[in-house]
Structure 1
Amino acid sequence: MSGRPFSLHPGSLALKIAVIVLTAALIAQCSTEYKAMTWVMGDARANVLKVFAFWLSSVLAPGFYLCALWDLGNVFKRMGRGEAFGPSMVRGLQSTGLCLMMGATAAVVLAPSFAKWLGDNLHGFSGLHLNLDIENVTIGLIGLTLHLLARRGAGVKAELEQFV
């Protein structure tokens, strides 16, 4: 099949602009929620822990998801240039998958555990708390699949190149 491949560069640019807009919206939303927080008068330690728990639970998972979208924009750019399934494409796909997995882990395990520990229970760690939302588990599994497919695709490509 000859001819120029379909250009994905505009899609890459649009995706990166969307990531910037979504990041600004996330910060605006979190800032609004932050301003509405109630404070413990006279207890600076409790207030600092409350702020840390708030930002950790509000920004960590979406931050990883936004990084995954940014990496995906880079993958689209490479595909738009007609780049073969080479090392940089594999790194981009693996990085996207890893960011999705880390975001899901943050949403399922880290954010609820730290929010409970730092927000409610200031006397010590009270164990892991899980938030097994279908969306976050699905995103994590899609990330794992993307990461493993990129790794397997690189292995198959290397095998095929040995035959040539």
Structure 2
Amino acid sequence: MTTKSILRKGGTKKEDYVFDRSKREKKKKKPNAVQFNVGELTSSTENPKLNKKPSKKAKEKQAKKEAFRKYLESSGVLDALTKVLVALYEQNDKPTSAVEFVQQKLGGPSLSEYEKLQAEMSDLQIRYNELLTVHQETCSQLEELKNTHTVASSKDNVEVDLPKP
């Protein structure tokens, strides 16, 4: 780095500026912009790599992308997203959260509603687990009662079948 003094008309120093010559040299080394004609880019004599046929994987990938795009278009997703993005673009006062805006326009719950629904789902899951435990206990009690009833009835049958002396 070098220091260069800049003088005013009166010959007095205004300030000392520090600048890096290597940065200026890098700027000088940048090549000028190259311009191409469309014909040059597609010509096989100029650049044979540009006319290379796509590989099987590239064709499959392109086909998957095209199929997915058609699916989104036929199901109306592209239209819905386009409408929402246009509505966001046309908003004079941009919302603080673009994601919430998109969710609201697509009919999804807001963040606060989502959190409430998550809490409700958690409570319902706890209640479900409690009821499931009670149900399993009741089923086991019912099985015990059935077993004791069959044992008692089988004893009665055995006593009835025995001849009395």
Do the two structures share a fold, i.e. TM-score over 0.5?
Answer: no
Bigger radius of gyration among the two = 2
Using structure 2 for the length normalisation, give the TM-score: 0.25
Name the TM-score, length of structure 1 as normaliser.
0.25
Compare the two structures and name the one with the higher helix fraction: 1
Larger RCO (alpha carbons 8 Å, 6+ apart)? 1
